[in-house]
Structure 1
């Protein structure tokens, strides 16, 4: 028999899972999502979340409480009489009272290989750290942050110049299939969990907190290791977007760097110095090649296209302009 499910999610990342759960024949009795947010240049337009838009398309009931700590909100959630809650990037902490409302439990789709990268930005931090792989996990939620036991693991390789946006898109599809598998196992009475302490012992993965990205981290000064800088650029693409200052002959301007890859350095070059006319930049150690960029007010483009209209010669220095 189909499960009665409460779905909780907000961004585009969550949408494939909601769609897949419905397509698998389960009864989604209600969708919880963050309230519409101000958008537009002047912030005058309220825009529903991607999950709300999908729920409306599917004709599902939608709720957007500001908190789940209010006893009335818990009573309303409990009254749905759900078998299980499916939570994917909801954006609100679930207190124990909320976790206890489904007949079985709350299942969370988490984008890392737990116990590594618990927290707010697991996809970005995995790329930034140079992890060779990451993945999606379906876990049983506890009151602690991403500490619950794990049922399903799907591991994937991280590409050498893959951005967080690209990896997020891949993982969102994997999240959908993994959650549908977990629900099928639950229906069959075969869903089993492994404690994260045992998982850490078996895999050698230790807990690391994936802290929320501070926009100040996105300023690139090229003083560090070239490979590490390239990873940071890719991790912060498309949001918040790594940036540096470049002078194309009309004065310094802020330029977003959307993709980069490690490259060979050259002795004697100062950090930020262009080593060729194709945007290979010297770092404090080694170098990196900038592949995709975006000038202020412009569209994303390859370095080749950008330099065709605004050439820079080897020896020019970005972010420290001389």
Structure 2
């Protein structure tokens, strides 16, 4: 089948590789333009662009598709049977949605209609969902509103992180889109009940509110690592990033205000229960195990975290 592939981050790479490996004719790959990254701010191509160039595929990276008739015409001129879209990052205008013979198919990392939008993986963990999955959807003008072609699910456990769920769903999406292209599927309208939206995340979403329960804070850390990352502050305003933690209700938090360090192992009182920090990071340092962190510059028992306002990046 003659395809156009449209994607940008790591999530989309397994699908691109699978489509190529199964012999589909990929006429072009669309990806977001290279962005400055790293300390030197050198221009870095997206993971999809890197994979496409490795496979010898043509890569296009328009800055915008809005009000761009020339881009629409170039896309239509590819005469694709279908466009496969996975976390591309640009909105496709109606002219592009209608150009491929079979339309545009989206690999979306949730069980639609739950978690339409930009952060479905993180939102599912944050909300305490017990499952997530991938939906292959026929794209239309609305935000993830199109009819569903195929879906599959995976459980979310007490140790699921955004990273592990991301990797599971990326592979699942590749498998599902291959099935849809090979076998076809009858479009099913999304149900009207159960619609939720996953907002675009910011760094501020990673601020730990110690008034929350230990379970909710644990979910936030698992959901928002590595991006945007979770953090707290020392009383002097120093930002401490948190990489991993585990609810640890053996330590009683009943008489300590939320955010108080309860023991030398960095067990922290929460609004309900307590949580033990496993890895954390000072400014300018690497992420460290809690015991190594404490040997470097110990945070004393009784210190209360999160009292200061963190500076913006």
What TM-score do the two structures reach when normalised by structure 1?
Answer: 0.89
Alpha-carbon distance change, 106 to 173 in structure 1, aligned in 2, over 3 angstroms: same
Deviates more, 1:238-247 or 1:88-97: 238-247
Query: Which digits, 9 at most, give the CA deviation of each residue in 1:46-99, with x for residues without a partner?
Result: 111111111111111111112223111111111111001000000000111111
SS in 2 for 1:197: coil
Does the alignment pair 1:76 with 2:74?
Answer: yes
Is the contact between residue 231 and residue 260 of structure 1 (CA under 8 Å) also seen in structure 2?
Answer: no
Q: Distance between the aligned counterparts of 1:184 and 1:305, measured in 2? A: 53
Q: Distance between the aligned counterparts of 1:76 and 1:161, measured in 2? A: 46
Equivalent residues in 2 for 1:58-69, closer than 5 Å: 58-69=55-66
Q: Distance between the aligned counterparts of 1:297 and 1:13, measured in 2? A: 29
Q: Distance between the aligned counterparts of 1:51 and 1:90, measured in 2? A: 9
Is the contact between residue 205 and residue 228 of structure 2 (CA under 8 Å) also seen in structure 1?
Answer: no
Between the two proteins, the alignment pairs up a number of residues equal to 305
What TM-score do the two structures reach when normalised by structure 2?
Answer: 0.92
Q: Distance between the aligned counterparts of 1:301 and 1:178, measured in 2? A: 38
Who is 1:293 aligned against? 280
Structure 2: runs of 5 or more not aligned: 309-313
Does the alignment pair 1:304 with 2:298?
Answer: no
Who is 1:50 aligned against? 47
- What is the root-mean-square deviation in Å for CA atoms of aligned residues? 1.8
Match of 1:105 among 90, 103, 106: 103
Tell me how far 1:142 sits from its aligned partner. Answer: 1.0
Tell me how far 1:313 sits from its aligned partner. Answer: 4.5
Query: Which digits, 9 at most, give the CA deviation of each residue in 1:158-215, with x for residues without a partner?
Result: 23133212321221111111111111113xxxx22221127x5xxxxx0111011122
Does the alignment pair 1:86 with 2:80?
Answer: no
Match of 2:166 among 165, 168, 193: 168
SS in 2 for 1:307: helix
SS in 2 for 1:177: helix
Q: Distance between the aligned counterparts of 1:252 and 1:97, measured in 2? A: 50
